[in-house]
Every structure is written in structure tokens, then in C-alpha cells.
Amino acid sequence: MKLPSTKPYLIRSIYEWCSECGYTPLLSVRVTPEMDMPADSVKNDEIIFNIDHGAVHNLVIGNDIISFSARFGGVAKEIVFPTDAVKGVFAKEVNQGIAFPEIQHDMTEPQNKAESDDKVGLPATKNKTTGKKAKTKLRLVK
């Protein structure tokens, strides 16, 4: 069973917190060649958007996609990118928010038991009689 990502929920909560406190929410996005972004605003494969309600229109922070329209150099542009591309969201005035790790771990169930034991990350214990390391055994209870 694949667990849904917490990222879109955290983005929405920081956005709401910024709005309630009167801060300017900024969204840092990792840009890839497939994305249609304003090229003059991209630096080091990253772009930072001001997503304050006065700066963008029709902001949608969905579970998979973030979209809005904004003006760049006086020209209106529709911006759409995957939620996975978000590197962080923070308040401009106090520089507080959340930075997300570059690599998102897949939280699907492992294919086999050996993979399951490795993903748990528990240390192996030594068998007292043989002196060999034995893997910790866990089972999924639903």
C-alpha cells in the first residue's frame, strides 16, 4: 500500500500560517528542462515564487500539481509544476518554514522479506549459540 506524501499538506499548512500572520509565502521550486518557467527568473535550476494572494491568481496547491497564474515582466503566465518539485516553503519576513529533502523515499511495501528487513533499519543481533548475526523479524499487522 502506497502512503500519500505529506508534502502537499505541509505546503498548504505553511501557506495558511503565512497568510494568517501577514507574512509573504515563498515557494522554492527545483526546475527541470520539461517545465515551462520564466527563464530569466531561474537561477541554479531553482526558482522562487511569491505565492501571496496578491501576487498570484487561482492558486491551487493540489496533492500532485501546483498551479497559478502570475505576471512576469508585466506578462501574465500560467505556471504548473509537480508538487514533488517543491524544495521548500517559507515566510519571507522571518525566513521560517520547511525545506524538503531532495530524495523522497518510496513508502510502498517491499517486494520480499529481505528487502523488508533492510528497510526497517534495525540492527542485526547476534545469535548467542552460533555467534552469527540474525536479522530482526517484524511482521505487518493490518
Structurally, how many domains does the chain consist of?
2
Contact 104, 84 (CB under 8 A): yes
Q: Tell whether 1 is covered by a domain.
A: no
pLDDT higher than 70, residue 131: no
Q: Is residue 74 domain-resident?
A: yes
For residue 54, give the C-alpha cell.
496578491
Where does the pLDDT of residue 116 fall: very low under 50, low under 70, confident under 90, or very high at 90 and above?
A: very low
In this structure, the answer to whether residues 93 and 113 fall within a common structural domain is: no
Whole-model pTM: value is 0.69
Give the domain extent around 118: 109-142
Amino acid, single-letter form, for residue 111: Q
Place of cell 517543491: 86
**Cβ–Cβ < 8 Å for 88, 97:** yes
Q: Identify whether 136 is part of a domain.
A: yes
Q: Does residue 104 surpass a pLDDT of 80?
A: no
Calculate what percentage of the chain has a pLDDT beyond 70: 72
Is 48 found in the same domain as 12? yes
- Quick: pLDDT tens for 19-59: 999 999 999 999 998 999 988 889 999 999 999 999 999 99
Distance CA 16, CA 9 (A): 11
Residue 97 CA to residue 136 CA, distance in Å, equals 37
**120 shares a domain with 89:** no
95 and 113 both lie in a single domain: no
Q: What is the pLDDT of residues 58-102, one digit of tens each?
A: 999 999 999 999 999 889 999 999 999 999 999 999 999 999 998
Domain contains 104: no
Whether 68 and 132 share a structural domain:
no
What is the spatial distance between Cα 103 and Cα 100, in angstroms, rounded to a whole number?
Answer: 9
User: Which residues is 91 bridged to in the sheet?
Assistant: 25, 96
